[in-house]
Structure 1
């Protein structure tokens, strides 16, 4: 997770209800919480609702915050839970599958597959509005458990450890879900990108 370049929040003041620190908390984390919710829900109104509910619940629960995780991880967890609740209300929940490893598969093989997922496409393929929109559409089609990990790790740039802490999963489980999300996206996007590259190549002849 990218560290916010600002004076650290005073946790004691926050827990005592200091309005200035509460305002700073909202100002510091609103953008990243909204961005996360928007990626998960693909709806600006729902993302705004999640943003509001996240801070309402966070400010109410702050007196009981024990600091076993970072404040940002705690806020992300609340936002993710709120997003998932909204998805269920919208009846968009996809059944969560077990994330057991395939027999004989290990972390080294997962890392190898990760490298294959994205390295073979030129960077400019991802720079058009059309391809970004297609990627967003395919991300929304991922099962919740895969989509959440992919967004946190590959879009929000949290580390494996931070993602695991946020979702209360093991690091191995995070790596497995991330591998499956990337692989599924590659499979879904392979035809689209092949056609995109062919069209652009032919157009340059």
Structure 2
């Protein structure tokens, strides 16, 4: 027996199921910005992210009758957005590279300053992430920003857990290289 979750927007979901266009619009307004950010962090292109957003909402509204509140609407929609984003990357034929465990280097985590320049550093990292190859950016985004573990990433992307770890380590290394290069240009 599965638990039924009721989130604060349950009444909107029910109204949408009953055909309320206003409720659908309200759900769109509530979730569109966050879902656009999720798609953009994965695909790295605002135009593609906007397309994914629209297609995800169309899918969600068309499949709403199948939504059983086994999770919140937001989490359910987020999964649709992630799947659509990953499918777009697959269409781009992203190559997932895997290494044996013995070839994986452990990278140390950089210390984070608690000073005024944290916002500036976040902006630099976001800009640098745009330069990462699709595969690297996707795994890094799913792991760091969306909270997926490597096993879950492997399932979502259709890759092994080891490949996810490898992509993540390579993404971190490449991100550091990009940030170092940008730091030297100043």
Shorter-chain TM band: 0.5 to 0.7
1:8 shift after superposition: 2.4
- Contact kept, 8 Å, 2:56 with 2:84, in 1: the verdict is yes
SS of 2:101's equivalent?
coil
**Alignment partner, residue 148 of structure 1:** 138
Q: How far, CA to CA, are the matches of 2:142 and 2:32 in structure 1?
A: 16
1:117 shift after superposition: 3.0
1:192 shift after superposition: 4.0
TM superposition score normalised by structure 2: 0.67
In structure 1, stretches of 5+ residues that fail to align are 1-5, 106-112, 201-205
Match of 2:25 among 13, 18, 23: 23
**Alignment partner, residue 37 of structure 2:** 35
Match of 2:84 among 75, 82, 85: 82
Q: How far, CA to CA, are the matches of 2:185 and 2:53 in structure 1?
A: 41
- Contact kept, 8 Å, 1:41 with 1:87, in 2: the verdict is yes
**Alignment partner, residue 111 of structure 2:** 119
Distance 1:26 1:88, change over 3 A: same
SS of 1:118's equivalent?
coil
Report 1:86-101 matches (<5 A).
Answer: 86-89=88-91, 92-96=92-96
Distance 1:53 1:142, change over 3 A: closer
TM superposition score normalised by structure 1: 0.62
Give the paired residue count. 172
In structure 2, stretches of 5+ residues that fail to align are 1-6
Distance 1:152 1:24, change over 3 A: farther
